[in-house]
Chain A
């Protein structure tokens, strides 16, 4: 079905070809690209302070500069850990579809996508293990209800897109932040470069899938899709607030701090800035 949607859309076909060529031209060896010093200095920001979960809150005022640096260190490990888990999930979904019936046309691009995502997963995991000595875990969730197959593809690729856009908000800012170590800036820069292609593809695909779902759905079904997407955005945003991170940074009651931060006035502004472009796209497409 996806192939049919793309094949009848000249604009999408052009974009797909251009993105595949760009992947070939920009190809790099990630295993040789980065400088990995043995240690990174602890007495500095590991994440732009404006992107940390305590920024602009009363909690941040209670912490010393040293504690804020430590928190930024653990939050950065959490951020890259979320990348590792998010990439694993999306690789599973794209790999399930490549070269199967209905996905003939995007399969060439999927090869680049899978290859690049595998490499991103490697350098994010390397960063976590080398400098944080661990990858933060995510609990295995409860099983998900399986909706109609066309809705399933829409939700799968919308989730991938939302995850990539969230991450890209952080990458694009941290790549340019001179307060951060060059190794940190480099992984954010490279990821941002590759993800711009994946996001361009994701937006086209999600728009096309939604247009199709819209034709065959009731108002109620569309309202359910919208509600699910909004919940997924909240879920993704809240995954940045990891109690284990607060515990590692020496916070005594990590669950209380998490609750405080999620209810803080600064939360709404932070969430809006993270999803500013994503929300605009989803609204324009009529999905939310």
Chain B
């Protein structure tokens, strides 16, 4: 069962891509261009807003942001 936080991130992605109905948990967000260099920072802020976690920009591991599953594991696991 996905957490409320990750559902917020899924909704955020879908709101920016009206052509899509859903995003699979393991879909690569960057390769599928759902997130690109211009929207990456917004994704980081959306995760901060939904999780309450402050993300350290100096230590960003891009692998944590590749799929909804990896985002959930990295930022919403304790919720």
Q: Show the binding face of A for B, using Cβ within 8 Å.
A: 137-145, 231-232, 235, 238-239, 243, 247, 255-256, 258-259
Taking residues whose C-beta sits less than 8 angstroms from the other chain, chain B's interface range is 20 to 34
Min CB distance A135 to B, Å, is 11
Within 8 A of A (CB), among B33-79: 33, 35-42, 44-45, 48-49, 54-55, 57-58, 60, 62, 65
Within 8 A of A (CB), among B7-40: 30, 33, 35-40
Chain B: CB-nearest residue to A139: B57
Q: Given that A231-B38, A235-B38, A239-B41 are contacting pairs, would A142 and B48 also be in contact in the complex, using a CB cutoff of 8 Å?
A: no
Min CB distance A190 to B, Å, is 29
Chain B residues in 8 Å Cβ range of A235: 38-39, 41
Chain B residues in 8 Å Cβ range of A247: 54
* A139 & B49 in contact (Cβ 8 Å cutoff): no
Q: Given that A143-B30, A243-B45, A255-B49 are contacting pairs, would A138 and B57 also be in contact in the complex, using a CB cutoff of 8 Å?
A: yes
Chain B: CB-nearest residue to A256: B49
Min CB distance B34 to A, Å, is 10
A71 to B57, CA, bound (A): 21
Min CB distance A34 to B, Å, is 28
* B49 & A141 in contact (Cβ 8 Å cutoff): no
Chain A residues in 8 Å Cβ range of B42: 238
Q: Show the binding face of B for A, using Cβ within 8 Å.
A: 30, 33, 35-42, 44-45, 48-49, 54-55, 57-58, 60, 62, 65
A145 to B65, CA, bound (A): 17
A258 to B46, CA, bound (A): 11
Min CB distance A86 to B, Å, is 14
* B37 & A139 in contact (Cβ 8 Å cutoff): no
* A145 & B33 in contact (Cβ 8 Å cutoff): yes
* A137 & B58 in contact (Cβ 8 Å cutoff): yes
Q: Given that A137-B57, A137-B58 are contacting pairs, would A142 and B45 also be in contact in the complex, using a CB cutoff of 8 Å?
A: no
9 contacts between A and B (CB under 8 A): A139-B44, A139-B60, A141-B38, A141-B41, A142-B30, A142-B37, A144-B37, A235-B41, A243-B45
* B40 & A141 in contact (Cβ 8 Å cutoff): yes
Chain B: CB-nearest residue to A254: B48
Chain B residues in 8 Å Cβ range of A144: 36-37
Q: Given that A137-B58, A138-B57 are contacting pairs, would A143 and B37 also be in contact in the complex, using a CB cutoff of 8 Å?
A: yes
4 shortest interchain CB distances as A-B pairs: A255-B49, A137-B57, A141-B37, A141-B40
Min CB distance A152 to B, Å, is 13
* A139 & B40 in contact (Cβ 8 Å cutoff): yes
A255 to B8, CA, bound (A): 14
Contact of B41 among A139, A143, A145, A259 (CB under 8 A): A139
Given contacts A139-B55, A141-B37, A145-B36, 12 further A-B contacts (CB under 8 A): A138-B57, A139-B40, A139-B41, A139-B44, A140-B57, A141-B40, A141-B41, A142-B37, A143-B37, A145-B33, A235-B39, A258-B45
